[in-house]
Amino acid sequence: MYEVNVEIAQKVIDAVKPGLVKGLGEQIPGQMCVEAAVCFAYGLPHSDEPPCVGFHVRSLKIRLNDSNWESNQSRAKGMLRLSVAQLGSDQIDQDEFRKIVQKMTIQKFLPLILRKAGMNEAADRCEAEGTVTSAKAAHVVAYNAAYYASSAAYYAADAAAKYASSAADAADAAYYAADAVRYIASVLGEQIFHNFAEEVVQILIQMKSPGCEYLYLTE
């Protein structure tokens, strides 16, 4: 087990703040991805597989890291708290994490793009239920609408609902949740990434991921 302490948390922060790149990058602060920054902090070989980060947490982080942020600095700012909160997440229940992330994505983010596309009834149902069934129903509506329309919002709603509803059956559900958010952000803007990252931080706090003890260092 890799110890999570204030020194490691600060090293992660120092590695993230100069910027985060899309892809693995190089083992130099400002030139690596968020998971490589954790390996760097522990003095491990350059990799995006830090052993102290849970499987589903890591998959979500990689997909979010590799999304189309406006800049490397914006990516670092948006993922800073999450980079610390994830430390020691190998100790939390990964299946439970996946399920909570899936519900949060359906309930809080999918309705945003559905309403943008004018699919208010589907949005209301996802918001009220947060279930895979509601997301699958939204996908049917969005798919049919996208078939007959050329609006970016329709296509984004279709893709987001597809990935959000796939999360329940996927071995890597958290990855697909982050994928859904990527399509939502393509229409609604980068702030969606920032908001999603913070929602995941709150889930890790709820699940008592050890790194959350050191979130005060990011303030």
Q: How far is CA 31 from CA 25, 104, 119, 137, in A?
A: 6, 31, 41, 41
* Cα-based distances in Å from 109 to 16, 39, 89, 105: 26, 31, 23, 5
CA angle, corner 45, sides to 42 and 51, nearest 5?
Answer: 55
CA distances from 60 to 7, 109, 146, 154 (A): 25, 15, 27, 24
- Per-residue pLDDT tens digits of the chain, which is 219 residues long: 789 999 999 999 999 999 999 999 999 999 999 999 999 999 999 999 999 999 999 999 999 999 999 999 999 999 999 999 999 999 999 999 999 999 999 999 999 999 998 999 999 999 999 998 998 898 888 877 765 555 688 778 888 888 887 755 555 778 889 999 999 999 999 999 999 999 999 999 999 999 999 999 999
Amino acid at 26: E
Residue 137 neighbours by CB distance under 10 Å: 18
Task: Check: CB of residue 42 under 8 Å from CB of residue 87.
Answer: no
d(CA 116, CA 191): 15
Question: Cβ contacts of residue 100 below 8 Å, gap of 6+?
Answer: 203, 206, 207
User: CA nearest 1: which of 57, 50, 43?
Assistant: 50
